[in-house]
């Protein structure tokens, strides 16, 4: 059971906009920054977007992040086949006093 | 460019021990916190340990506290994870990552696999 809750999977057709939610509590997302990570099969994760909504080098501008209260979202505008990957949110948790990740969301391009 | 290279993983018996290493290059290692994060087969990411830049403070997840110990050698630009009392559920790929506080983990190694099995 992950401390942050993400949908296990989502899908869309090329060009469609998809969003991935990340739900937490007042001790993590509600009071700390959220970062998003992308992981392709068989590869190491990489930071996709930081808490300031800045994309890592090479990440296209169709990716964006947002946060409101105890939830955060990652949006992919204009979904591409190369976006098929797993996506994770993460935040510091003040109650647990450690980093927590979401369970991950697999994005499939139909 | 920033590079993190893990090593030391392998097949180990239940109850056994390993020392994982993560060699860093391309940045001033002594200025950064470092973490270890693992991923069990087919599962998500689990943060397990971090160490401050000077090494004077460490923190471990409850799931590994008392069995795993993170340390670093700033002269060798290397962070370590001593893992002992291994259990089947510790089977995972272990990644080291550079930590930037609110900006998260900005660089990751390629990972080193640990398999606990008899």
The 10s digit of each residue's pLDDT in A54-72 is: 999 999 999 999 999 999 9
Which residue from A minimizes the CA distance to B111?
A: A44
**Is residue A57 within 8 angstroms of chain B, CB to CB?**
no
pLDDT at A1: 77
Please tell me the least confidently modeled range out of A49-63, B4-18, B29-43.
A49-63
Average pLDDT over residues A81-92: 97
Residues on chain A touching B95 (C-beta within 8 angstroms) = 44-45
A97 contacts B59? CB cut-off 8 A: yes
A33 contacts B103? CB cut-off 8 A: yes
pLDDT digits (tens, 9 = 90+) for B80-90: 999 999 999 99
User: Which candidate from B44, B59, B102 shows the least CB-CB separation from A98?
Assistant: B59
Q: How far is the alpha carbon of B60 from chain A, nearest alpha carbon, in Å?
A: 8
pLDDT at A51: 87
pLDDT-based confidence at residue B91 (cuts at 50, 70, 90): very high
Q: Nearest Cα to B34, choosing from B63, B1, B72?
A: B72
Give the strand pairing for B3-7 and A98-101: unpaired
Secondary structure of residue B103 in the 3-state scheme: helix
pLDDT at B81: 98
Element (H, E) at B114: strand B112-116
pLDDT-based confidence at residue A2 (cuts at 50, 70, 90): confident
Interface residue of A98, A100, A103, A105 to substitute, partner B, most B CBs within 10 Å? A98
pLDDT digits (tens, 9 = 90+) for B42-74: 999 999 999 999 999 999 999 999 999 999 999
- Mean of all residue pLDDT scores within chain A: 95
Q: What tokens appear for A71 in the block?
A: 């939830």
Q: How far is the alpha carbon of B92 from chain A, nearest alpha carbon, in Å?
A: 13
Q: How far is the alpha carbon of A33 from chain B, nearest alpha carbon, in Å?
A: 5
Average pLDDT over residues B34-45: 97
Query: CA-to-CA distance for A35 and B104, rounded, in angstroms?
Result: 6
pLDDT at B42: 95
Query: CA-to-CA distance for A47 and A87, rounded, in angstroms?
Result: 10
- Number of A/B CB contacts below 8 angstroms equals 62
A45 contacts B104? CB cut-off 8 A: no
In the predicted structure, residue B31 carries a pLDDT above the cut 90: yes
User: Which candidate from B46, B104, B111 shows the least CB-CB separation from A35?
Assistant: B104
């Amino acid at each position: 059971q992950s401390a942050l809750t993400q949908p296990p999977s989502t899908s869309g057709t090329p060009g469609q906009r998809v969003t991935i939610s990340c739900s937490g509590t007042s001790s993590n997302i509600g009071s700390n920054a959220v970062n998003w990570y992308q992981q392709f099969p068989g590869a190491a994760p990489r930071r996709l977007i930081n808490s300031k909504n800045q994309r890592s080098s090479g990440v296209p501008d169709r990716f964006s992040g947002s946060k409101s209260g105890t939830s955060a979202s990652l949006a992919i505008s204009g979904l591409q086949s190369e976006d098929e990957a797993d996506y994770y949110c993460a935040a510091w948790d003040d109650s647990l006093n450690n980093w927590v990740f979401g369970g991950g969301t697999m994005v499939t391009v139909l | 460019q920033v590079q993190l290279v893990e090593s030391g993983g392998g097949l180990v018996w239940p109850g056994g021990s390993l020392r994982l290493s993560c060699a860093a290059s391309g940045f001033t290692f002594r200025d950064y916190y470092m973490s270890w994060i693992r991923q069990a087969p087919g599962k998500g990411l689990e943060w397990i340990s971090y160490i401050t830049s000077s090494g004077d403070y460490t923190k471990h997840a409850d799931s590994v506290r008392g069995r795993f110990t993170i340390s670093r050698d700033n002269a060798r630009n290397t962070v370590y994870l001593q893992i002992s009392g291994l259990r089947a559920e510790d089977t995972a790929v272990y990644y080291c990552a550079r930590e930037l506080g609110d900006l998260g983990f900005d660089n990751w190694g390629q990972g080193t696999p640990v398999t606990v099995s008899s």
